[in-house]
Amino acid sequence: MVTYAQLTSANSQPFRDAAKAYGDLADKLIDRSDDAAKQLRALPEAWEGEGTDAAATAIKNAVTETDDAVLMLQRCDQILADFAGELDKAKSMLSDAVADARAIPAQIAADGTLTVRPEDGPPSGHPAWAGVYKLVDAAQTAIRDAVQYATTADTTATTDLRATVPGTKGKPYPADKIPPRGTDPKKVRDWWNSLSPEERQYLIAHFPDKVGWLDGVPAENRDQANRLTLAREQHRIRDELDRLKAEGKEGTGEYKDLQGKLAGLDRIEQRLLAAGGDGKDADGMQSNDRRAYLLGVDTSGDGKAIVAVGNPDTADNIVTYIPGTGADLSKVGGDINRVDRMVFDAQQMDPTKRTAGILWLGYDAPDKIIQFPPGGDATDPKYAVNAGNDLDLFQDGLRVTHDGPRSTNTVLGHSYGSTVVGYAAKDHGLDIDNAVFVGSPGVGVEKAGDLGLDPNHVYSTHAKNDPIQYALDPGDLVRMQNPLNPDVDLIHGHNPSSADFGGHKFASDPGTPLMKPEIKTKTYDPLGPFGPSVTVPVGFDPHLSGAAHSEYWDDGNASRDNIAKIVTGNGGTVTGDHRK
């Protein structure tokens, strides 16, 4: 049983540090396991004879034992990181309760018991004492709740750590019985729950690429599987780059594509190793040190990745972020930073609740805004249509694997990502509490009610200088007298920030001006050194800028506070709402 005094003095940082140490050790073992597997593949070419089979068996056994140890270490990392987050929440609950007690004012004993001195209250026998006692009871209950929350977290972590027994062997399970990707998450959950711990361990170690993408498998298990896939893909791509370099193909498109994917994988690994760090993201902006969970990674095509900051299965609030045009594995770093900032903002907004943020790059985003001839760019809704079912399954998976009371789930799409959210909502019906559109070119509908969601929980923002709001429907360009009217239909439907769309609009900073016109000049000396110089205009540069489209997550932007309000269930308090 955790005591009031213990919770008051508790510090979560040592647990974060220990979690990181376990995670770092697991990553090192993954590298050693991959090296051994590489040697095993090369063995037949380097050695022939009676001892070859014995050597191969010994290496296989070593790889299996190493993989088992990796899973154990990763589980310790997860347990300790989760406990650190729960401890922070308990301390925040206690801090609020103590503040309420002192405001009465009540005296707090060493064991957390509250009393009110006669001189601090109303006159003896005054009816107002009834109100004082009511406040004391409420504060006392809040203190007990905080201590009990910490006790439950401590007991859970202790039990989970004891269950993580070193040396546990995986039990073989046939690959053809693994549910295919796209299976109903409820069926996946039931299947996963029917397996023994040894069978789960075997599947994670031997089929990480299959387990890692299954919606309905708990986040902690998907994370274990995908970390194995991540390390193996890093090794594979590095080997492939070495081969291409040896063949003199460094400047080829294939080489550059692999370089970009490796950079993306390395950036994901950097975030996975960052828990317990200095609370700054890769751009040096204020972020957080929550443990990250890798819920999906795929290097085929442009590449895909799903990265969670915080454990969504235990979070009170979950925000899923869908990036837009140009998003791919090579550029994943900036999107991870945005998720980090949203989690940080939500924790600052309501530290008594745990918030998890998820980068969902689980779809093939358009590569370009527009291309000629037309087709296959951001004007085409096919990317959003194709992504809808996968996003819907992922959101369903978050619900079925979640522990505890129902979480507040928000899906936020930026740019073309908002179009993905819109099509997923109207075509499949997303099991979410809030939909947020940031810098949207349209979401495939004319009214918020067409999304199958309560319009009171649909939110949108456009920075004043964001050029995306001028991504007009071609017919409107012909019909309008004033083409720069952001309230007309956009390329993918009615502007969700317009008053007649039916949802809420919230404020963002204007952003970098769309145009900074400048007259270019040139100076002449017509009389040489004997006369004055003459400066004349020689051209005009409009200095067009689209920077505002990407500034919604910059430090100090009003959109960040408003997004945090929505994510924490306080969307009714957003600023700049035209419905107020």
Can you tell me which residue has the tokens 């975030």? 271
pLDDT, position 489: 78
Query: Which of 470, 464, 503, 508 lies closest to 488, judged by CA?
Result: 470
In this structure, are 485 and 521 located in the same domain?
no
Neighbours of 434 (CB within 10 A): 23
- DSSP letter string, 274-308: -TTS-SB-TTS-B---PPEEEEEEE-STT-EEEEE
What distance in Å separates the CA atoms of residue 251 and residue 512, rounded to the nearest whole number?
Answer: 36
Give the pLDDT band (50/70/90) at residue 56.
low
More confident residue, 387 or 81: 387
Give the pLDDT band (50/70/90) at residue 485.
low
Q: Is residue 578 part of a domain?
A: no
Q: Which residues of 504-523 are buried (b: 16+ CB within 10 A; e: fewer)?
A: bbbbbbebbebeeeeeeeee
What does the mean pLDDT of the chain come to? 87
Task: Give bridge partners of residue 460 from the DSSP assignment.
Answer: 437, 505
In this structure, are 446 and 536 located in the same domain?
no
Summarised one tens digit per residue, pLDDT across range 161-178 is 877 766 566 688 999 999
In this structure, are 330 and 457 located in the same domain?
yes
Query: What does the block give as tokens for 156?
Result: 């859970």
Domain boundary among 169, 196, 212: 169
In this structure, are 133 and 12 located in the same domain?
yes
Pick the range with the lowest mean pLDDT from 95-104, 286-295, 329-338, 453-462. 286-295
Query: Which of 219, 223, 293 lies closest to 71, judged by CA?
Result: 223
Q: Provide the strand spans (E) within 484-576.
A: 489-490, 493-494, 504-505, 518-524, 534-541
Judged against a pLDDT cut of 50, whether residue 277 lies above it is answered with no
Task: Give bridge partners of residue 524 from the DSSP assignment.
Answer: 534
Phi, psi (rounded to 5 degrees) for 544: -70, 140
Supply the CATH number for residue 287's domain: 3.40.50
CA 506 to chain centre: 22
What distance in Å separates the CA atoms of residue 344 and residue 287, rounded to the nearest whole number?
Answer: 6
Under DSSP, is residue 91 helix (H, G, I), strand (E, B) or coil? helix
CA geometry: angle 127, 130, 131, nearest 5 deg: 105
What distance in Å separates the CA atoms of residue 347 and residue 357, rounded to the nearest whole number?
Answer: 11
**Which whole number is the average pLDDT over 482-494?**
69
**Which whole number is the average pLDDT over 553-569?**
97
Beta strands 114-115 and 107-108, pairing class = antiparallel
In this structure, are 450 and 564 located in the same domain?
yes
Supply the CATH number for residue 110's domain: 1.20.1260
Q: Is residue 580 part of a domain?
A: no
Pick the range with the lowest mean pLDDT from 294-303, 328-337, 362-371. 362-371
Q: Is residue 562 part of a domain?
A: yes
In this structure, are 289 and 420 located in the same domain?
yes
The total number of structural domains in the chain stands at: 3
Domain that holds residue 61: 4-169
In this structure, are 423 and 336 located in the same domain?
yes
Judged against a pLDDT cut of 80, whether residue 181 lies above it is answered with yes
- DSSP letter string, 137-179: HHHHHHHHHHHHHHHHHHHHHHHHHHH--TTPPP----GGGSP
Q: Is residue 529 part of a domain?
A: yes
In this structure, are 425 and 527 located in the same domain?
no
Q: State if pTM tops 0.95.
A: no
In this structure, are 447 and 522 located in the same domain?
no
Q: Is residue 178 part of a domain?
A: no
Domain boundary among 169, 201, 232: 169
More confident residue, 397 or 513: 397
Query: Given 3-state DSSP classes, what are the helix, strand and coil percentages for the chain, each rounded to the nearest 5?
Result: 50, 15, 35
More confident residue, 559 or 65: 559
Q: Is residue 579 part of a domain?
A: no
**Which whole number is the average pLDDT over 541-564?**
89
